[in-house]
C-alpha cells in the first residue's frame, strides 16, 4: 500500500536466484533418491537433471524477454514441485521401468507449450475473444473419451483417457482451462445482468433463470462427466471452479449457497444411484474393516496402505530412498503425496503443501492486481482450481474426504496433468505480468471493445499490486 508512488520492478533476478534454489531442491532430491540404490548418478539422473535445469532457465529467459513483470515466485515454485515429482517418480521406478523419463518428456513438452502460450498470446485479454470457442472446446474435450476409436476405453474404472498414438491423454485436464476461460469471458460480459436482474428471497438475491444458463450448463457438464466417465474428482473440480468464478463475478454469497446445495444434493443422489460413488464413500468411511479393505473394485487397500506409509514417515520421514512407498498402489501418481509424506515426513510434506499454498496465493495476488475483470476472473478461477485440486487429492489421500481420481499438480506421474498445469502457470504468469507491470490504459487495438471489459480504476489496482 505504501508502494503507491514506486515504479514497477521486474524482479527477474530474484526469480533467477529462487529458480536456482528450486533446481537445487529438485536435483538434490533426485540425487538423494539414488544414493542408497544402484540408481545413484546413473545416466537417468544426469539426463533428467540437466534437461530440467536447461528448460527452467530457458523459461526464465523467455519471461525476461516477454513478461518481465511476471511474478518472480511462481516459476521457481513450480520448478521445485516438478523437480520433486521427477525425483520421486525416478525413485519409484523399477529397474526396467521408464516412468521417470516419460515424466521428464512430458515436463519438457508442457514447459514448451507454456512458453508458447506466453510467447504468442502476449496478453491474456486476447483469450476473451475465444469465450464461446472455449465452451465448444471444453465440450469436445470432455466428450472425446467417450467416442469409440479415439477413446482409450475404461482404465481403472474411469473413461477419461484418449489414445494419442502410443500415449494416452486425459483431455479433461485441459478442459478445466478452457472452461475457466469460458466462465471468465461469459461472466465478465454478463455480470451486470446477473447482478441486477432477479428476485430477492429473504436475505438472498436470486438471479433470473435465463441468466443462470451457464450455471445450469456447468451443473450438467459436471453431472455428465460423473455419469459417463465415472470421474468424481473432475466433476467436483469443475463445479467448484464455476461456483468460485460466479461468486467473484457477482460478489453474491447466494451463488455459493445454491452451488453447495446443488453439489451436496447431487453428491447424495449420485451416491445412491451410482455404485462406484457409493463404493468410494463406503471405502472412505469403513476403510479399516476387512471386507472393505480387501474389496475389488472400490476397496480401501490403496488408501490404507498410503496412510501406513505416511504414518511410517512420521515427523521427519524416512529419508528419500529409505522408505517403502512402493508398497502403495499407484505410489507415483494418485498416491504420490503419501510417498512424499513417507520419505520426507510431516515436515517435508508441509513444505510441499506450503509451496502449493504460495503458488495459488500468488495467483490470487495476480487476480487482485490485474485491472480487467476477465483477467481477475481467470486468475482467480485457475488459482482456486489448483487449490481445490490439491485439497481433493491430499484430502483423499489423508482420508479427510473420499479419495477420487484427481492428479496432484506437477508432482504426479501423468502427461496431461503436467501439460494442463503448466499452461495454467503460463496464464498466471501472463496475468501477473499485467498486474505488476506499468499501468497500460491504451486499448488493445483499434476496434477492440473496452466498455464491458470491467477495467477498474487504476488507483484500486495499484493499491493491491
Partner 1 sequence: MNQAIRHSWVAAIAMFALIFGAISYVQVIGADELKANPWNQRAILQNYCNDRGAIIVGGSPVAESVEGTSETCKFQRTYPQPEPYAGITGYFSQNFGATGLEQAMGEVLTGNSDQLFLDRVGQLFLGNQPKGASVELTIDPEIQQLAYSLIPDGQRGSIVVTNPKTGAILAMVSKPSYDPNQIATQDPDAETANINELLKVPGINLNPNVSGPTGELLAPGSVYKLVDTAAALASGKYNKDSVLPNPAQMPFEGIQYTLPNYAGGNCYTRDTAGFAFALQQSCNTPFASIALDLGRDAIAEQAEKFGFGEDMGDQLKLDYARGNGFPDDLDAPGLAQSAIGQKDVRATPLQVALMTAAIANDGVQMRPNLIKALRSPDLRVIDEPQPQQLRTSTTPEIANQITEWMVSAVSEGIANRAAVPGVQVAGKTGTAELGNGTNNSWFTGFAPANNPQVGVTIVMEGVDITTGAQLTSPNAKRIFEAVLNK
Q: Contact between 404 and partner 1 (CB under 8 A)?
A: no
425 binds partner 1 (CB under 8 A): no
Residue (278 or 456) nearer to partner 1, CB? 456
Cell 496478453, located at residue: 123
State yes or no: residue 357 binds partner 1 (CB under 8 A).
Answer: yes
Burial (Cβ within 10 Å: 0-12, 13-18, ≥19) of residue 346:
middle
- Residue placing its CB nearer to partner 1 in the complex, 306 or 414: 306
388 binding partner 1? (CB under 8 A)? yes
Compare residues 49 and 312 and give the one whose CB is closer to partner 1: 312
* E strands present in 247-399: none
Contact flag: residue 83 with partner 1 (CB under 8 A): no
One DSSP character per residue, 357-388 reads: HHHHHHHHHHHHH-SSHHHHHHHHHHHHHHHH
φ, ψ (nearest 5 deg) of residue 433: -60, -45
Does residue 46 belong to the site contacting partner 1 (CB under 8 A)?
no
Name residues contacting partner 1, limited to 107-166 (CB under 8 A): none
> What b/e readout covers 396-434, taking b as 16+ CB neighbours within 10 angstroms?
bbbbebbbbbbbbbbbbbbbbbbbbbbbbbbbbbbbbbb
Could you give the 3-state DSSP secondary structure of residue 206? strand
Count residues binding partner 1 (CB under 8 A): 53
CB of 35 to partner 1, least distance (A): 12
- In the list 1, 4, 201, 315, the residue contacting partner 1 (rule: CB under 8 A) is 315
Q: What residues numbered 211-270 form the site for partner 1, per CB under 8 A?
A: 244, 247-251
Q: Which position among 20, 143, 327, 444 is part of the footprint of partner 1 (CB under 8 A)?
A: 327
Q: What is the DSSP string of 349-363?
A: HHHHHHHHHHHHHHH
Q: At what angle do helices 253-273 and 232-250 cross, to 10 degrees?
A: 170
β strands within 149-246, DSSP E: 162-164, 167-169, 198-201, 204-207
Binding-site member from 45, 384, 410, 422 for partner 1 (CB under 8 A): 384
286 touching partner 1, by CB under 8 A = no
23 vs 71 by CB, closer to partner 1:
71
Separation CA 239–CA 354 (nearest Å):
25
What's the farthest any 2 CA atoms get from each other in the chain?
Answer: 69
Give the nearer residue to partner 1 in terms of CB position, either 56 or 390. Answer: 390
Catalog residues that contact partner 1 under the rule CB under 8 A.
Answer: 244, 247-251, 288, 293, 304, 307-315, 318, 323-324, 327, 341, 345-346, 349-350, 353, 356-357, 360-361, 364, 367-368, 373, 376, 380, 383-384, 387-388, 390-391, 394-395, 398-400, 454, 456, 460, 464
Amino acid at each position: 500500500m505504501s508502494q503507491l508512488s514506486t515504479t514497477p520492478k521486474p524482479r527477474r533476478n530474484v526469480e533467477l536466484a529462487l529458480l536456482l534454489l528450486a533446481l537445487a531442491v529438485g536435483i538434490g532430491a533426485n540425487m538423494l533418491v539414488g544414493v542408497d540404490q544402484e540408481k545413484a548418478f546413473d545416466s537417468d539422473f544426469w539426463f533428467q537433471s540437466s534437461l530440467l535445469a536447461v528448460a527452467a532457465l530457458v523459461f526464465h529467459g523467455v519471461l525476461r524477454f516477454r513478461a518481465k513483470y511476471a511474478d518472480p515466485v511462481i516459476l521457481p515454485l513450480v520448478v521445485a514441485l516438478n523437480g520433486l515429482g521427477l525425483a520421486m517418480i525416478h525413485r519409484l521406478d523399477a529397474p526396467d521401468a521408464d516412468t521417470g523419463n516419460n515424466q521428464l518428456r512430458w515436463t519438457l513438452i508442457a514447459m514448451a507449450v507454456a512458453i508458447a502460450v506466453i510467447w504468442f498470446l502476449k496478453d491474456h485479454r486476447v483469450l476473451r475473444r475465444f469465450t464461446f470457442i472455449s465452451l465448444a472446446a471444453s465440450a469436445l474435450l470432455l466428450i472425446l473419451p467417450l467416442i469409440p476409436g479415439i477413446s482409450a476405453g475404461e482404465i481403472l474404472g474411469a473413461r477419461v483417457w484418449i489414445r494419442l498414438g502410443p500415449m494416452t491423454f486425459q483431455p479433461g485436464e485441459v478442459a478445466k482451462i478452457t472452461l475457466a476461460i469460458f466462465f471468465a469471458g461469459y461472466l465478465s460480459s454478463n455480470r451486470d445482468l446477473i447482478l441486477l436482474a432477479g428476485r430477492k428471497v429473504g436475505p438472498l438475491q436470486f438471479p433470473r433463470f435465463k441468466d443462470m444458463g451457464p450455471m445450469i450448463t456447468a451443473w450438467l457438464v459436471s453431472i455428465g462427466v460423473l455419469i459417463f466417465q465415472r470421474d468424481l474428482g473432475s466433476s467436483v473440480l469443475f463445479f467448484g471452479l464455476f461456483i468460485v468464478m460466479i461468486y467473484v463475478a457477482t460478489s453474491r454469497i447466494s451463488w455459493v449457497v445454491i452451488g453447495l446445495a446443488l453439489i451436496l444434493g447431487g453428491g447424495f443422489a449420485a451416491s445412491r444411484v451410482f455404485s462406484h460413488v457409493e463404493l468410494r464413500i463406503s471405502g472412505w468411511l469403513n476403510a479399516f474393516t476387512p471386507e472393505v479393505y480387501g474389496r475389488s473394485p472400490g476397496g480401501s487397500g490403496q488408501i490404507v496402505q498410503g496412510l501406513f506409509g505416511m504414518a511410517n514417515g512420521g515427523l521427519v520421514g524416512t529419508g528419500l530412498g529409505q522408505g517403502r512407498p512402493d508398497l502403495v498402489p499407484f505410489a507415483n501418481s494418485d498416491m504420490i503425496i503419501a510417498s512424499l509424506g513417507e520419505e520426507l515426513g510431516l515436515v517435508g510434506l508441509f513444505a510441499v503443501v506450503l509451496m502449493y499454498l504460495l503458488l495459488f496465493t500468488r495467483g490470487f495476488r495476480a487476480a487482485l492486481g490485474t485491472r480487467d475483470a476477465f483477467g481477475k476472473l481467470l486468475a482467480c478461477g485457475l488459482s482456486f482450481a489448483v487449490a481445490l485440486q490439491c485439497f481433493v487429492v491430499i484430502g483423499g489421500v489423508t482420508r479427510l474426504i473420499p479419495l477420487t481420481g484427481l492428479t496432484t499438480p506437477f508432482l504426479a506421474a501423468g502427461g496431461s496433468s503436467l501439460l494442463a498445469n503448466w499452461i495454467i502457470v503460463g496464464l498466471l504468469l501472463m496475468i501477473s505480468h499485467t498486474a505488476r507491470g506499468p499501468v497500460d490504459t491504451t486499448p488493445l487495438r483499434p476496434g477492440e471493445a473496452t466498455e464491458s471489459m470491467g477495467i477498474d480504476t487504476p488507483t484500486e489496482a495499484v493499491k493491491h499490486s
